[in-house]
Amino acid sequence: MCDTFVALKGHTANGSIIFGKNSDRDPNEAQALEYHPAQDHPAGAELQCTYLRIAQARHTHGVLMSRPHWIWGAEMGANDRGVVIGNEAVFTRRERSREPGLIGMDLLRLALERADTARGALDAITDLLARHGQGGLHSAKLIYHNSYLLADPEGAWVLETAGEFWAAKRVKGFAAISNGLTIGGDFDESHPGMIDAARRLGLLRRGQDFDFARCFADPFYATFTGCRPRRSRALALLGSRAGRMDVADAFALLRDHGDEGLGYRPDGHFLMSRICAHAANTLARDSAQSTGSLVACLRGSGRTFWATGTSAPCTGLFKPVWLEGVVLPSLGPTPGPVFDDASLWWRHELVHRTALRDLPRALAMLAPERDAAERDLLERAREAGTRGTAERFALTEEAFRRGRELDEAMLVRFEGELRRRPKLPLYSPYWKKKNRQAGIRTTGC
């Protein structure tokens, strides 16, 4: 599952808009951090998405994105116009179709490629939804509908769908979405036939006011996915930083393990109730590993994006990226379903999964060095905003190099100082199986 948030200008320290997302999926579902430059396409060109082939746009914007290795679309991303989007799986009372269609991540990438603004991205998604529908497996096991948080340097929208139906609400102040519907009756835009359809389907009783979430949400999944406590936690953290929130706060929010802080143990709870998600069992927390993270700082023409390119934001380093010139250094081959030491994502997995032997102790060792590196990068990124493209890219290159060096140093320390914990029911066998499937040489716990 996932968590996405945004804080608007009046809520942040420097008048910027700050956006963040963790993408939570199967622990072995490696994510590729990629940049696809702007491109013009010939009339009549077609585009192969994950399952469906559709008409290509004449022009597509440059897009930075993080995508599961087997999917055409993206879990989160930003374009060269300053639009940023994250999506969430939502489970509704509308039928979830296995028939090939556009999956939520396809809709996200298509909107980034085609829209100049957050509102334009909303229109792109709802138009594509009307023309092609949403359908097909989003993972080996799951079919779901989608919600979105869409932002640009001027504002943000929440867009939630239930099959062909949708409602959208303009964000005021700040917002967070998780894996449940949140829009009630106070939406700003909606599918034109939605309310009549809800009455026809028996989801809206005579005399009741229409409420999108009440009519279409599946209450079982709203509980089972742990979306309510995660969203409540995100909103509380956002509220606590009213008027003061900055990019470092966004990093901390995505790394949040609840009140336990650095003492958090991922084997100590059953449901998906933490923003920084660690998988733990096949019953309730299989698709619950944070496998990629993104933060965006949008202020007029100044747009800086911060990506880990790795799973587990609590063990990773956020690196600054600017969507101009050469955007990303070489990150190795696109990661696949099995371990590849040449891939950034899989190299970091050795660190993350070794840290799982004793996560509180591992984070106590790692956090001071990680935080010091990020403070330095944040300060220099602010200075880089007034400099040239080459200097900004040099800082991006340095950040990815420092991330690699931090991983290498921590892996040596973890191997030497973290003892394997006693085997725990559900948790230890789960990770042993995941490591075996991925061909990872270290066992996490």
Please tell me the predicted confidence (pLDDT) of residue 143: 84
The yes-or-no answer on residue 227 being catalytic is no
Domain at 2-326, CATH from 3.40.50.2300, 3.60.60.10, 3.40.50.10860, 3.50.50.60: 3.60.60.10
Buried b (16+ CB within 10 A) or exposed e, 204-239: beeeeebbbbbbbbbeebbebbbbeebbebbeebbe
Q: 312-357 pLDDT, tens per residue?
A: 999 999 999 999 999 999 999 999 999 999 999 999 999 999 999 9
Mean pLDDT of 24-47: 97
Of the candidates 2, 49, 227, 276, the residue annotated as catalytic is 2
**Domain positions in the chain:** 2-326
Please tell me the predicted confidence (pLDDT) of residue 196: 93
- Single pTM value for the model: 0.96
Please tell me the predicted confidence (pLDDT) of residue 443: 65
Residue with more model confidence, 392 or 420? 392
218 DSSP 8-state letter = -
Helix, coil or strand: residue 284 = coil
Q: Can you name the residues that pair with 177 across neighbouring β-strands?
A: 4
Residue 179 CB contacts under 8 Å (≥ 6 apart), including other chains: 1, 2, 88, 89, 90, 91, 221, 222, 225, 226, 227, 230
Please report, as a single letter, which amino acid is at residue 335. P
Residue 405: which pLDDT band, with cuts at 50, 70 and 90?
very high
Closest CA relative to residue 335, chosen from 346, 347, 324: 346
